[in-house]
Amino acid sequence: MDDVYRVRINEEGRLIIPASYRKQHGLAVGQEVTLRATSDGLLITTFDRTLQQFQNDVAALAGSGVSLAGELISERRSEAAAERG
């Protein structure tokens, strides 16, 4: 079962993440997080975790063994050669 924390939003609209949760998930003061609205509520995730999930999603869409950077470089080289030639 997921841990559940009850917190309040203060007058400035800030939400305080309990110290035990921050420690458990390695959250540090000043660390960037993302906030996602879902049909179930709000999901708070570290920016690094969000970026990793995005990269995984793109890799799954691109397919196994595909280098999008390599394809982009190849396209740019082809375009440059066509302009020269």
User: Could you read off the pLDDT of 35-48 as tens digits, one per residue?
Assistant: 899 999 888 888 88
Is residue 73 a part of any domain in this protein? yes
Number of domains in the chain: 1
**pLDDT on residue 64:** 79
Stated pTM of the model: 0.54
Helix/strand/coil for 72: helix
In tens, the pLDDT along 7-20 reads: 899 999 998 888 98
Is residue 58 a part of any domain in this protein? yes
Residue 28 DSSP code: -
Rounded to an integer, what distance in angstroms lies between the CA atom of residue 65 and that of residue 70? 11
Is residue 5 a part of any domain in this protein? no
Is residue 1 a part of any domain in this protein? no
Rounded to an integer, what distance in angstroms lies between the CA atom of residue 32 and that of residue 77? 37
Residue 67 structural domain: 19-84
